[in-house]
Amino acid sequence: MSALRSGRQLVAAVRALLVATVVLGLAYPLLMTGVAQLIAPARADGSLVSVDGSVVGSSLIGQSFTDSDGEPLPEYFQTRPSASSYDGAASGGSNLGPNSEELVAAVGERRAEVAAFTEVSESEVPADAVTSSGSGLDPDISPEYAAIQVERVAEARGVPVDDVQALVDEHTDGRDLGFIGAPHVRVLELNLALDEQLG
Amino acid sequence: MSSTAAGWLQVALLVVALVAVHKPLGDWMARVFTTDAAPDPAPEGPKSRLLPRGHWRVERLVYRAVGVDADSEQRWPVYLRSVLAFSLVSVLFLYLLQRVQQWLPLDHEMAAVEPGSAWNTAVSFVTNTNWQGYSGESTMGHLVQMAGLAVQNFVSAGVGIAVAIALVRGFARSGTDRLGNFWVDLTRAITRVLLPLATVAAVVLVLGGVVQNLSSGTDANTLAGATQFLPGGPVASQEAIKELGTNGGGFYNANSAHPFEGPSAWISLFQVFLLLVIPFSLPRTFGRMVGDRRQGLAIVGVMAGLATASLALTSWAQARAGGAALQLAGAATEGQEVRFGGPLSALFGTATTLTSTGAVNSMHDSYTPTGGMLVLANMMLGEVAPGGVGSGLYGMLVLAVVAVFVAGLMVGRTPEYLGKKLGRREMTLASLYVLVTPVLVLTGTAIAVVTDTGLSSLLNSGSHGLSEVLYAFTSASNNNGSAFAGLSANTPFYNTALGLAMAFGRFLPIVLVVALAGRLAVQGKAPVTAGTLPTHQPLFVGLLGAVVLVVVGLTYFPALALGPLAEALA
């Protein structure tokens, strides 16, 4: 008798799951995809940025501005260190602990590298420049990290510092609504603007 | 504005939003689960004529398809069998779907998921844990994400709500052996609560920049001349229910830290709201259904008090940037996104571990030693402040039973809660409930750290390494799903062990709760006398808070002392 009743519940369970799969697993996401493509197609497709018809990236996804040997390009604002080297197919952080010797060494090395490359003292290098993000795809840097890079970029491009600074200001967002999150500089869009306006 | 001031304004906005929404949502849910035919006492339910009170037409279609009589109620063993049958079928189906995804459409050339990983993931999503040993963007095709994982995001949250409602009915009803009908409760949780809210939330997420497409991805030619793969996917629809149902399983490996899942700070704060809104509204539902809103207020008071204390401590610890590497960097920015900043990351980390969500917008493994210990301790409290969708309420109500019992011991009276006498059988069930998760966590951790296979997965060594293992078993047994992600958990040992921890951590408590509900419902109501302990006053709120901290928290103290505490003091 008990087995029979359990059997009845199992049959109901199979049917319920099938209904749920059709409604919640197919109808709902497909409907939402349709709605999204209707109301905000660019955002729904990943806020892609194109130059001359070719996709150069997403304004939401960070990328590295290094040459083929992995050396940073001085004419571009540099993004943060990334545990996944900005590989869009492998997001994630370093997951190193706060006392990890590996992380201590990495932070020290990066600090020295950034200071030398940007020609500032090590104490001027902000924290986001020497730590990797949670996603490995952080599109932003702090205004402090942008500030120390302005002179280097201007020099590498042979343009006035003020012009570069103006573009940095243009691509700096404060906190949402004035208090949510943290101020940040959108690096891909900034670097694109540099190429377009200060070639 | 200073970072700290901005941080607390974020919290203030969140609290205002939760306070504003919990009343209508809590009242609505009380109405949803109080049917006309059922003998529920609904003395002051709001009377709206906008929506019919009985079954909706679409629900009748569902009941017909499922083949159940929606107007007949179940005794507790049948209710429980329905829960377990549905979950068992779900695990099997999700396992199968992952194993055959390469032959199905929208697989985007993903191979079949390995058996160990597929078992782990199936259990993980069915138990509302969403522990992820795999990396989403390189393992799961869009079809598995939609028709497998996202479906469980809905129904596992629905199961949590149903079980909580069954327990509430146990308190609200008297002299009956009927707890309601699981299939009706599950259906209504989805048609009347989760699906409408998720639809609205998904639209907001899309407007905020979360992606929603069926593309397999785009190759971009970067400014520096390299190629970068930009993934696609139906993310917003899944993200909405992932937070709303306190599931937490990211579409991508980096979860809500991924810019396609958490594109901006306000979206991240909105996600925190989503993952808290149902758990913080259910106490109102409880108060309504037992006919005394003050009882719900007392429960939510304990939840809010614990949550506030935890958030304050975590924010403080993260701002101090403890730990050698973070000290050297100058701030706790490792594993953190610039757009979110410190306070919002700490807020998300606190909310996700106080509920059973486990989504992350920053990497907990790289938190300061004290911050990491606090998010771990949040889960150890049993996720009751406010806890997962449904599971938070039933967990807190069981602890309330324990608190009443403790108070009864002090004054030498038979303990009563909401007019129900708490005898030997009731207390046995409640005590077993409290013991289940610590046993799973501590046994699992102990086995892992004395075996070579368990230790070989550690990224960090020493006390932080122990924290990684402890975190994994705590997260799995409490159905949270967040990780100290340095642990390489996609191994046969961890896939199996954590899968078992998730299954037992979800279903043993559910068995005990439904049995308790059955015993309570058959009792009559004891009249309130001068000797009855009032359970809606600050004294009881304080007592319940203390019980949560002492009974549950102290269980883990030795393990915490060897792991994060040792690291924080080193």
Q: Are residues A51 and A148 in the same domain?
A: yes
Residues contacting residue B89 through CB under 8 Å, at least 6 positions apart: A10, A13, A14, A17
Give contacts of A92 with chain B, Cβ < 8 Å: 135, 253-254, 363, 485
- What digits encode the pLDDT tens for the residues B269-317? 999 999 999 999 999 999 999 999 999 999 999 999 999 999 999 999 9
Question: Residue A1: pLDDT band by 50, 70, 90 thresholds?
Answer: very low
Q: Do B338 and A138 touch (CB under 8 A)?
A: yes
8 A C-beta contact, residue A97 and residue B326: no
Q: Is B251 on the interface with A (CB under 8 A)?
A: no
Alpha helices in B173-213 (DSSP H): 182-188, 195-207
Average pLDDT of the residues in B464-493: 93
Instruction: Indicate if the pLDDT at residue B532 is higher than 90.
Output: no
Q: Do B230 and A91 touch (CB under 8 A)?
A: no
Q: Do B66 and A139 touch (CB under 8 A)?
A: no
Q: Are residues A192 and A115 in the same domain?
A: yes
Distance from CA of B143 to the nearest CA of A (A): 8
8 A C-beta contact, residue B489 and residue B460: no
Q: Do A182 and B206 touch (CB under 8 A)?
A: no
Q: Are residues A36 and A55 in the same domain?
A: no
Q: How far is CA A179 from CA A88, A168, B1, B4, in A?
A: 30, 21, 8, 10
8 A C-beta contact, residue B154 and residue A20: yes
Q: Are residues A60 and A143 in the same domain?
A: yes
Residues in chain B: 570
E strand or H helix at A49, and its extent? strand A48-51
Question: Residue A5: pLDDT band by 50, 70, 90 thresholds?
Answer: low
8 A C-beta contact, residue A20 and residue B186: no
Give contacts of B230 with chain A, Cβ < 8 Å: 46, 48, 55, 57-58, 61, 88
The total number of structural domains that make up chain B: 1
Q: Are residues A66 and A160 in the same domain?
A: yes
Q: For residue A188, give its domain range.
A: 46-198
- What residues 404-423 of chain B have any CB closer than 8 A to a CB of chain A? none
Question: Residue B105: pLDDT band by 50, 70, 90 thresholds?
Answer: confident
8 A C-beta contact, residue B467 and residue B372: yes
Q: Are residues A89 and A109 in the same domain?
A: yes
Instruction: Indicate if the pLDDT at residue A153 is higher than 50.
Output: yes
Q: Helix %, strand %, coil % for chain B, to 5?
A: 65, 5, 30
CB neighbour burial string for B48-62, b if at least 16 within 10 angstroms, e if fewer: eeeeeeebeeebeeb
HSE of B231, CA atoms in CB hemisphere, 13 A: 28
For the question of an ipTM over 0.90, the answer is yes
DSSP three-state, residue B219: strand
Instruction: Indicate if the pLDDT at residue B111 is higher than 50.
Output: yes
The reported pLDDT for the residue numbered B53 is 62
Q: For residue B262, give its domain range.
A: 3-569
The total number of structural domains that make up chain A: 2
Nearest to B53 by CA among B40, B72, B69, B67: B40
Q: Are residues A118 and A161 in the same domain?
A: yes
Residues contacting residue B316 through CB under 8 Å, at least 6 positions apart: none
Average pLDDT, chain B: 93
Residue whose structure tokens are 């909310």: B351
Q: Are residues A148 and A176 in the same domain?
A: yes
Q: Model-level pTM?
A: 0.95
Give contacts of A24 with chain B, Cβ < 8 Å: 150-151, 154-155, 190, 195
Q: Are residues A9 and A54 in the same domain?
A: no
Alpha-carbon gap, residue B392 to A141, rounded angstroms: 38
